[in-house]
Each structure stands twice: as C-alpha cells, then as structure tokens.
C-alpha cells in the first residue's frame, strides 16, 4: 500500500518508510492512498476473537505484505503480552446502554501504551532489517515519555531520550521514566518548562549536523503507526456490542485528535459507527470548530486533564484532507492560514463532511469533578479525569439511540489527588505496576540549554558516540 502526504509534495512512501519518517518533508502527515475495506462478514467474525487476532487482521491490511505474516503476528503477540488484562482493552458497562473501554492496562497505565508497544516492535524490526539505527528524542508533559521509554527499552537499534520539565510532572509519571533500568532509555529533567523542552526538540531537528550525527527521529502522535494501532479497539469494542448488526457510537477524550481519528479510520474501513463524539476540556478549539466551521487558536489553559491541554490538534489535518476531497493544495492553503494568522475557515462542504459524523462537547473542570463523583456514586466506577470529561460529554450527546462507548484513556491511579477530591476514594497504583518502585531512579538534570542537551545525547546514544551495542 502506498502512503501519501496530506500536503501533496512529499515522496510517496511504502508502509515501512512512512513508519520511520513520521512527519512528511512537506510538513504534511502520511495517510494510506486508500482505506482498506472489511466486509460485514469479516467484522462479524471479530466477535469473541482475541484482541491480538483482530489486531493482526487490521494491521496487516495496512502493512500489506511488507512484513511476513508470521513475524507480524509475533510482534503483535509480544506487544500486547505486556498488558495486564486478558482482554487487553476490556469493556466495562457503566449504564443501561453505556460502556467504558479501558485502554489503560498497559505497562504505564496510559492509553499511549496501546500504540507505543507495537510501534516499537515494528520500528526495531524495520531498522534491524536495514542495518540502521535511530535516536528518538521527545518532550513530554507526562504520559508520552513514560510510554515511549518503556516501549522502546529493549530495541536493539534505537536509543530513546525524553525531556520533561523538572518538578512539573507527577511522581508516578516521573518514576515511570526514571526506573526503567535499560541502557538505551534516558530520562532528562530540564530546568525549564514543557515549552522549553518542546522548543529544544524542534531546534534539534533544525540542527542538521546533530540530526544526522544521531539519526534523529520522533514518535509523536502524528506517526501513522500510532493511529493504525488505535483503530483496532474500535473494531473489538463494536463487535463485542453487536457490530456489524447494529451501529455503535464512541466518545473520546481528545487532545491531538489521534485517538478519535482512529475511529474515523475504522468507519472508513466499514465499521458501523453512528457518532464519533469529540470531548474536550476548557481547551475547546475542536468543539468551537465544529460549531462555527472556523479553526481559531487561543491560549492553552492548564487543567486537571493535562493530556488534553492542547490548541493544535495535529491529526485533525488528516481528517481535513478527506473533508476537502483529498485535495492537498486546499490543505496546504488552510495550514498556511493557520500559521500566518492563527486561524482558518473550513470550506462549507468540508464543514458538512465533518459534522455529518462527528459531534463535540466540552466539560469544565467543576463539571469533570462532579461527573467523577456522580459516576462513582451511581456505579462504583472510579474514572480518571480525562475519562470523566468524555463521560460527561457522552451523557449530553443528544438523541443517543445507539450504545455509547466512552474511551478511558488513563488509569485513575495516575491522578490520585483529583480522584480523591472528587470521590473521597484513595486509589493506588496496581501491584504489578508498582514493582519497579524499588528500582533506583536514574535521571539527568540538565540546564535549559540546547548545546548541553545535544552533547549529552551524543555522548549517551550508541550511534552518536560510535559505541556499538553488538
């Protein structure tokens, strides 16, 4: 299968190439040239099928023969063996016709594990086959760093470095990054803000000498492999609830639009999805866009749901591409409007395209806390605040005649203070995830200085220092 850029002037790539490059060189995002289609019969066969089997069906449709079946199977099995639930992503009923899809049973208790675990296996395989190495560098305000360092810890061909603002991530999140105990996993506390960390990543990609010296790469949410992996659970959840013989709706706590875009992909592949509901916190740019047809940036507000404190929802560009009839010149113009004046107007037909399938709503912080308390009192269910934002929005979705599945994106134990405040309940990290608390924390505190961080990465990465792990 060929992969094309949403902005139309980057080379057409194979699956393997698209996975390794992440962002296209024209600034666009890679998407498959066409969406694979599954028949109703095939979707019906997913009922009662183990998660990894469904994952194989979906993922192999995108890999399209570039990786041998037996090998792909093995990677998928290994990736999801790290999850601490036999269903991998269990469905829990919380109301008469509402369910929660728990995506947080992976090693770092975050839904990011679902995609990172398989992405690491795929990338390492491709690199090993090509005799190449990479250095992944990223900035994290919490969940992504832990999930990535954990997923890539055993990769032969990859060293991983994540910067986080010193003192500004939670204890659970910091320990997840600092107690891995693998030679290729590096947590860097920066004496600065998250924005400082992010600016340094950008500057490293612009520093061609450094970029080439370490073969710099990223695994941010625009990587096609992450979206692909997230498509799987829409199929498993819908099949369990009766697809293809009845339609299902989903509500998704949204930040970068990766998770909910995966639902759109599932729909294009033939899954009967009625509504996809975008749930946001006070950073409600997507809700406003759906309402007004105009995507207008504003300031990021810091909330109790940090993973949704985002103004630029990168993956929205993939939806936009389809919404404008896959005309890359339109996408390019809208994206340059966004860059130059901080907003763009969706063409009317594109606005209609988006609102035909998507709804949106937002929940304020008081509403989120109230919802956490209500859900707990009603059904004994402890939701993390991100999940609660979506549960609140789901409840307000009008004319809901189909079963509603809300995606639960973090384990409540990742936000114990908020959970306690809302429900009076103490929630602790599950035993299997606390094991590593005994490991010593290993982290490097570095000043907010590009040259200092680059020197550290060159020294510690096997590729930059010329050390060979073999």
Nearest distance in Å: CB 237, ligand PLP: 16
Backbone angles phi, psi at 135, to 5 degrees: -120, 120
Collect contacts of 458-462 with beta carbons under 8 A, ≥24 apart.
458/210, 458/213, 458/214, 460/159, 460/161, 460/186, 461/135, 461/159, 461/161, 461/214, 462/133, 462/159, 462/184
Question: Can residue 386 be called a binding residue for ligand PLP (CB under 6 A)?
Answer: yes
Non-local (6+) Cβ contacts of 25 within 8 A are 10, 11
Q: Out of 76, 118, 197, 308, which residue is the one contacting ligand PLP (CB under 6 A)?
A: 308
Non-local (6+) Cβ contacts of 135 within 8 A are 158, 159, 160, 161, 214, 215, 216, 217, 457, 461, 463, 464
Terminal alpha carbon distance of the chain: 33
Nearest distance in Å: CB 111, ligand PLP: 6
**Separation CA 408–CA 422 (nearest Å):** 17
Nearest distance in Å: CB 438, ligand PLP: 26
Nearest distance in Å: CB 29, ligand PLP: 13
Question: Can residue 112 be called a binding residue for ligand PLP (CB under 6 A)?
Answer: yes
Cis peptide bond N-terminal to 244, omega within 30: yes
Return the number of the residue (214 or 262) whose C-beta is nearest ligand PLP: 262
**3-state SS class at 66:** coil
Q: In this structure, what DSSP letter does residue 67 have?
A: S
Nearest distance in Å: CB 125, ligand PLP: 24
Catalytic residue among 112, 121, 332, 414: 112
Question: Can residue 410 be called a binding residue for ligand PLP (CB under 6 A)?
Answer: yes
- Is 16 assigned a catalytic role? no
Yes or no: say if 184 and 468 are a contact pair by the CB < 8 Å rule. no
Q: Out of 83, 194, 235, 257, which residue is the one contacting ligand PLP (CB under 6 A)?
A: 257
Question: Can residue 409 be called a binding residue for ligand PLP (CB under 6 A)?
Answer: yes
Question: Can residue 219 be called a binding residue for ligand PLP (CB under 6 A)?
Answer: no
Nearest distance in Å: CB 60, ligand PLP: 23
Return the number of the residue (259 or 317) whose C-beta is nearest ligand PLP: 259
**Separation CA 49–CA 231 (nearest Å):** 16
Yes or no: say if 410 and 143 are a contact pair by the CB < 8 Å rule. yes
Return the number of the residue (244 or 258) whose C-beta is nearest ligand PLP: 258
**Separation CA 373–CA 425 (nearest Å):** 10
User: Among the candidate windows 104-112, 121-129, 187-195, 208-216, which touches ligand PLP by CB under 6 A?
Assistant: 104-112
Please, is 86 exposed, middle or buried when counting C-beta atoms within 10 Å of its C-beta (0-12, 13-18, 19+)?
exposed
User: Among the candidate windows 27-35, 71-79, 110-118, 336-344, which touches ligand PLP by CB under 6 A?
Assistant: 110-118
Question: Can residue 108 be called a binding residue for ligand PLP (CB under 6 A)?
Answer: no
Q: Out of 258, 263, 403, 412, which residue is the one contacting ligand PLP (CB under 6 A)?
A: 258
Q: Out of 108, 117, 173, 254, which residue is the one contacting ligand PLP (CB under 6 A)?
A: 254
Binding track, positions 133-172, relative to ligand PLP; x by CB under 6 A: ----------x-----------------------------
Size, binding site for ligand PLP by CB under 6 A: 17
Question: Can residue 16 be called a binding residue for ligand PLP (CB under 6 A)?
Answer: no
Yes or no: say if 462 and 469 are a contact pair by the CB < 8 Å rule. yes
Cβ-based neighbour number of residue 328 at 10 Å:
18
**3-state SS class at 83:** coil
Non-local (6+) Cβ contacts of 455 within 8 A are none
User: Among the candidate windows 187-195, 239-247, 248-256, 462-470, which touches ligand PLP by CB under 6 A?
Assistant: 248-256
Question: Can residue 221 be called a binding residue for ligand PLP (CB under 6 A)?
Answer: yes
Nearest distance in Å: CB 331, ligand PLP: 19
Question: Can residue 259 be called a binding residue for ligand PLP (CB under 6 A)?
Answer: yes
Distances (CA, A) of 64 to 72, 114, 180, 402: 11, 21, 34, 33
Q: Looking at the annotation, which residues are catalytic?
A: 112
Interface with ligand PLP (CB under 6 A): 110-112, 143, 221, 253-259, 307-308, 386, 409-410
């Amino acid at each position: 299968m060929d992969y094309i850029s949403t902005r139309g002037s980057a080379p057409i790539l194979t699956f393997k190439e698209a996975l390794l490059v992440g962002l296209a060189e024209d600034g666009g995002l890679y998407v498959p040239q066409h969406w694979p289609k599954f028949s109703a019969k095939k979707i019906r066969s997913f009922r009662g099928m183990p998660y990894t089997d469904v994952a194989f069906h979906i993922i192999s449709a995108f890999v399209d023969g570039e990786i041998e079946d037996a090998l792909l199977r093995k990677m998928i099995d290994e990736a999801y063996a790290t999850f601490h639930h036999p269903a991998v992503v269990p469905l829990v009923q919380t109301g008469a016709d509402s369910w929660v899809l728990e995506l947080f049973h992976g090693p770092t208790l975050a839904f990011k594990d679902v995609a990172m675990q398989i992405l690491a296996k795929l990338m390492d395989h491709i690199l090993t086959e090509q005799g190449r190495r990479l250095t992944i560098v990223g900035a994290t305000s919490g969940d992504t760093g832990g999930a990535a360092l954990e997923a890539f810890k055993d990769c032969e061909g990859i060293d991983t470095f994540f910067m986080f603002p010193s003192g500004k991530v939670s204890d659970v999140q910091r320990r997840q990054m600092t107690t891995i105990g693998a030679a290729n996993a590096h947590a860097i506390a920066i004496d600065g803000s998250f924005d400082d960390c992010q600016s340094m990543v950008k500057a490293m990609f612009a520093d061609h000498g450094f970029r080439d010296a370490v073969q710099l790469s990223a695994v941010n949410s625009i990587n096609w492999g992450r979206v692909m992996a997230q498509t799987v659970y829409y199929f498993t959840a819908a099949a369990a609830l009766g697809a293809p013989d009845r339609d299902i709706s989903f509500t998704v706590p949204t930040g970068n639009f990766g998770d909910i875009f995966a639902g759109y992909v599932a729909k294009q592949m033939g899954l009967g999805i009625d509504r996809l509901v975008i749930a946001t916190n006070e950073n409600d740019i997507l809700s406003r866009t759906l309402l007004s047809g105009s995507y207008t940036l504003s300031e990021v507000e810091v909330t109790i749901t940090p993973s949704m404190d985002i103004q630029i929802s990168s993956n929205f560009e993939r939806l936009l591409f389809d919404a404008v009839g896959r005309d890359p010149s339109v996408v390019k113009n809208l994206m340059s409007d966004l860059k130059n004046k901080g907003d763009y107007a969706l063409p009317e037909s594109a606005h209609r395209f988006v609102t035909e399938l998507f709804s949106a709503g937002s929940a304020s912080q008081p509403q989120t806390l109230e919802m956490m308390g209500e859900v707990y009192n009603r059904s004994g269910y402890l939701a993390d605040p991100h999940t609660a934002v979506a549960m609140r929005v789901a409840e307000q979705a009008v004319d809901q005649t189909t079963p509603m599945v809300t995606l639960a994106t973090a384990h409540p134990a990742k936000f114990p203070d908020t959970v306690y405040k809302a429900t009076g309940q103490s929630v602790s990290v599950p035993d299997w995830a606390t094991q590593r608390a005994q490991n010593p924390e290993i982290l490097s505190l570095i000043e907010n200085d590009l040259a200092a961080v680059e020197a550290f990465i060159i020294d510690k990465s096997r590729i930059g220092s010329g050390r060979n792990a073999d």
